Structure 1
Amino acid sequence: MHREIKVGDNLKTLRKEKGWSLDKTAKATGVSKAMLGQIERGESSPTVAKLWQIASGFEVSFSSFITGTSNNELTSMFRDANELRREEYNTGFFVSLLFPFEQALGFEIFELTLAPNYQHESDPHNIGVTEHILCISGEMSVLFDDEWHTLRAGQAVRFNANQIHGYKNIGKENAVFHDVIHYPEK
């Protein structure tokens, strides 16, 4: 199954679960009704930024759009970032969803890879959402509190994600980092 169809299917399912029309979804997310319809039909491939915008409007995790549903039963899981890595969300920005969001835990974990000179900025997430960034290799900067902060391999930072924030590779090699995104209980 192509990613666009899974994202579209998940969007449609979530919209139906909430009882939202396309109009109401457009108002809640700030994404046009036409674009939402194209995503649901698999005719449009949303960027990471657009998916975050939609997830924030629904007040759900990012991974809820790119994974199947969870039965919320906590079991042991082994994951391999190399098998999960996808570049299809943005060229130069590789996303590996290591652990999808589970309500019982309240977080999701990504391994992200930025190509040299790649920069990604995100709109604010909902109040209470925090990100924990651990630089695994390379050299990168993280934007929060209106300032870029440098991280090298082994360094980590936590920040409130309800502000404009971003990541950029400031080295000559790929920058690889883990991003643990924690969502507050509703």
Structure 2
Amino acid sequence: MQEINLYLATTLKKLRQEKGWSLDKAASETGVSKAMLGQIERGESSPTIATMWKISTGFHQSLSSLLEPPAAESSNTRIRPPSAQPTSLASDGAPIVPIFPYEERFGFEMFELTLQPGYERLSEPHIQGVTEHVVVLSGELELLVDGEWIQLSKGASVRFSGDTPHGYRNCSQAPTIFHNILHYAQKGA
């Protein structure tokens, strides 16, 4: 986790400087307080996934671009054995594991999420043009799409606009595990 926080600290500061934003401007664009952004940049805070989503949306970046550097573009084949999978990021009852980080040439990032029983999260819209693809691996997932909760069981999949408000919840007594692929609209497309 410390490695991710250090990468996040340097990446956030670099992004802010590239845009010429003050901490006040970054706070305004992301909805994250100036104090929290400063703590993150100094490596003094481990932000929640919800905070990291706000930062990525405010900076118009993928979430995974804040977590690890992009892979070398030498090959289309990438194998990540279980021992090389990144550690899960603690997230208030919903650990998230980045499986494939965002690469511009592919236009997507992939995560595995585990929702503990009783977990609910309402998500703010992502960057304009983001489409989410959810595949339930185990358990039962309720997904808020277009203002309505829909129930998905093991093996079910759904695609929806991630640039609108949406949410995830687990009303069952067992953990729910699902893959979430976020596809970003191509710039200029």
TM-score using structure 2 length: 0.90
1:139 aligned residue: 140
Structure 1 gaps of 5+ residues are none
1:25 aligned residue: 26
1:70, CA displacement in angstroms? Answer: 3.7
1:7 aligned residue: 8
Structure 1 residue matching 2:6: 3-state secondary structure: helix
Structure 2 gaps of 5+ residues are none
Matches within 5 A, 1:30-109: 30-80=31-81, 83-88=85-90, 90-109=91-110
On the 8 A contact 2:70/2:103 being kept in 1, the answer is no
| TM-superposition CA deviations, 1:22-63 (whole Å, max 9, x none) | 222122212222111011111122111111111111111010
2:171 aligned residue: 170
Aligned sequence identity (%): 46
Q: Distance in 2 between matches of 1:43 and 1:26?
A: 17
Aligned residue pairs total 185
Moved more, 95-104 or 120-129: 120-129
1:114, CA displacement in angstroms? Answer: 0.7
| TM-superposition CA deviations, 1:138-167 (whole Å, max 9, x none) | 011011111111110110011101121111
On the 8 A contact 1:81/1:98 being kept in 2, the answer is no
1:100, CA displacement in angstroms? Answer: 0.2
Structure 2 residue matching 1:15: 3-state secondary structure: helix
On the 8 A contact 1:98/1:111 being kept in 2, the answer is yes
Going from structure 1 to structure 2, the CA distance change for 1:123 and 1:104 (only over 3 Å counts) comes to: same
On the 8 A contact 1:141/1:148 being kept in 2, the answer is yes
Moved more, 96-105 or 42-51: 42-51
1:127, CA displacement in angstroms? Answer: 1.7
Structure 1 residue matching 2:11: 3-state secondary structure: helix
| TM-superposition CA deviations, 1:65-99 (whole Å, max 9, x none) | 111244444432122567434142x2321111000
Structure 2 residue matching 1:86: 3-state secondary structure: coil
Query: Is 1:116 matched up with 2:154?
Result: no
TM-score using structure 1 length: 0.91
1:185, CA displacement in angstroms? Answer: 1.3
AA aligned opposite 1:84: P
Going from structure 1 to structure 2, the CA distance change for 1:81 and 1:112 (only over 3 Å counts) comes to: farther
User: Displaced runs of 4+ in structure 1, greater than 3 A?
Assistant: 69-75, 80-83
